[in-house]
Structure 1
Amino acid sequence: PWDRVHVYWGDERCVAVDDDRSNENLARNTFLKHVPIYERHVHPIRCTDDTAASSREYEALLHRELGQRETPLDLVLLGMGDDGHTAALFPGMMALEESILWTAIVRKPGDDFDRITMTLPLLNRSRRAVFIVSGESKAETLRVILEDEGGPQWLPAARIDPSGEEALWLVDESAASLLTR
C-alpha cells in the first residue's frame, strides 16, 4: 500500500532540516526511514529565509497535488499542546481565522523562528483526523475539549472538524486522567 501513500506536513518550524526541532527531521528519523515509501511521495515544507515565499510554495504544491479532491487529505495525524494548539495553530493567533488559504505563517511568542502551518480550511476538509495526546500536563485541556459542550472554540484542537468522520482521540492514561466519560 505504500506506493499509494503521500505524506504532507501539517506544520514545520523554520529551522534547519537537521535541527532537532524540525518536524521533517523527526518524521524521517522516527517513521519514514522505517517504511518503504517513495521519496517522491514525501512532501515536506521547505522553509527558506523568505518564509512568505516558502508558505506560498507549499500552498501551491498542496493545490497542485490535492486541490481537485473533495476531501484533499484522507488522514490527518495531529498532536495537541498543553495550551490546546494543534499543528502550529495556537490560541489567539490570526491564522485561526483564515478562511481561504491552506497555509499560514505564525510565530509563537518567545520563539526566534517562524512556523508554516496548514490552516483550518484544509484540515477540516480531511476525511479523518486522529489526535495522539500524551501526558498529564494536557489532561485539563483534553477534558475541556472532549467534555465541555461543543468544545471551546478558542482552543484550536477543538476546531478540528473533519468532513468525513468525527475526530479520533488516542490518549494515554495520564492525558485521560480527568475524563469522566
Structure 2
Amino acid sequence: MNLHIYEEVNAINEALAQYIISVGRQAIVTNGRFNFVLTGGNSPKGVYELLSTKYKQDIDWSKVFFFFGDERTVEPFHKDYNGLMAKETLFDHLKTPADHIFYVNTFLQPQDAAAAYKKSIDKHFEGKEPIFDLILLGMGDDAHTASIFPHTTLTAVTEADVQAVFVEKLNTHRVSFTAPLINMADHVAFLTFGKNKATALYHVLGPQKDYASFPAQLINPVRSPLNWFIDEEAYALCKQNS
C-alpha cells in the first residue's frame, strides 16, 4: 500500500483532488469514460469542492460517471443522504447530467434498493465485470468503511455485490458495496484524518488481522496498491509504535 501523510486537511484535499484528476484522465484516455465511486459523510466535502471549482477545467467531466459506495436509508432530500451532499458540493457546480449520476433509490426497502442498485451498475457495465476506475472510501473511528461495520453480516461476504445490512449500533439499515466489489476496482483510495481516527488506523494498518472487528482491513485491491491519504493526527499511533 501507499501512505500519503500530510500535516493538515487542506494539504490532504489538494493531494487527493490531484490524484483523482490523474486517475480520471487516464481512465478517459484508456476507456473513454471515468467510473468514479464517491464516499459519503462530511470528510470528502473539501475534496468535492476543489474538484468542482479549482479543478473544474482539468478533466472532461462530461465523460465522468458517479456512483456511491454506500448510502443511508433516508429519503433523498434528507441531510444525511450521501447523494444530497455530493449534489450540493459537486454535481450542481459541474452541471452533471442526471444519467451520469447513479443514486441509490432509498424509497425502496433496503434489500430492494441494494438489488436495484446492483442491477443499474450491471447495466452500465453492459454485463461485464463491474470494475470501477476509482473507489474513494472513508473510515469511521470504529474502522468501518463504506457501510461495512464491525461484526455485521457484510464482514463475511465473499461476493462482489451491493447488499443491505442492518447496523445494530445505529439501529438502521444501510446499502453498501461489499469488500470484494471494492477490491475489484482499478484504484482504491482512503481519505482519513483527525485524532479520533488514530486508534482505528493503528489497528487497520497493524499486522494482526481481525476483519470482523476492523472491517477496513478487508480492503485489499487486486489491481493496484491501496492508497491512504491521511494526516499526522490520524497516523500518530502508527508512528509511535513503528
TM-score normalised according to structure 2 size? 0.69
Q: 2:231 aligns with which of 172, 176, 179?
A: 172
With 129-138 and 42-51 compared, the bigger mean Cα shift is at: 42-51
With 108-117 and 50-59 compared, the bigger mean Cα shift is at: 108-117
Structure 1 SS opposite 2:148: coil
Cα shift at 1:110: 3.8
Q: Is the 8 A contact 1:124 1:163 kept in 2?
A: yes
Code of the aligned partner of 1:22? Y
User: Kindly tell me: are residues 151 and 2 of structure 1, through their superposed partners in 2, closer, same or farther at Cα, counting changes over 3 Å?
Assistant: farther
2:68 matches 1:9: yes
Q: How many residues align?
A: 179
User: Structure 1: which 5+ residue stretches go unaligned?
Assistant: none
Aligned to 2:211: 153
Q: CA RMSD in A?
A: 1.8
CA distance in 1, matches of 2:124, 2:96: 17
Structure 1 SS opposite 2:164: strand
Aligned to 2:159: 100
Can you list the C-alpha shifts for 1:42-82, whole angstroms capped at 9, x where unaligned?
A: 1011112422221111111112213414x610100000001
Q: 1:138 aligns with which of 176, 193, 197?
A: 197
Aligned to 1:50: 109
Q: Is the 8 A contact 1:2 1:36 kept in 2?
A: no
Can you list the C-alpha shifts for 1:92-151, whole angstroms capped at 9, x where unaligned?
A: 1112222225111112224343211011121110111110011111101112222x2265
Q: Is the 8 A contact 1:128 1:163 kept in 2?
A: no
CA distance in 1, matches of 2:204, 2:173: 27
**1:57-136 superposed matches below 5 A:** 57-66=116-125, 67-69=127-129, 72-100=131-159, 102-136=161-195
Code of the aligned partner of 2:193? S
TM-score normalised according to structure 1 size? 0.90
User: Kindly tell me: are residues 101 and 160 of structure 1, through their superposed partners in 2, closer, same or farther at Cα, counting changes over 3 Å?
Assistant: closer
Structure 2 SS opposite 1:178: helix
Q: 1:30 aligns with which of 83, 89, 100?
A: 89
Q: Is the 8 A contact 2:75 2:107 kept in 1?
A: no
CA distance in 1, matches of 2:170, 2:139: 18
Bigger fraction of residues in helix = 2
Structure 2 SS opposite 1:24: helix
The sequence identity of aligned pairs, in percent, is 27
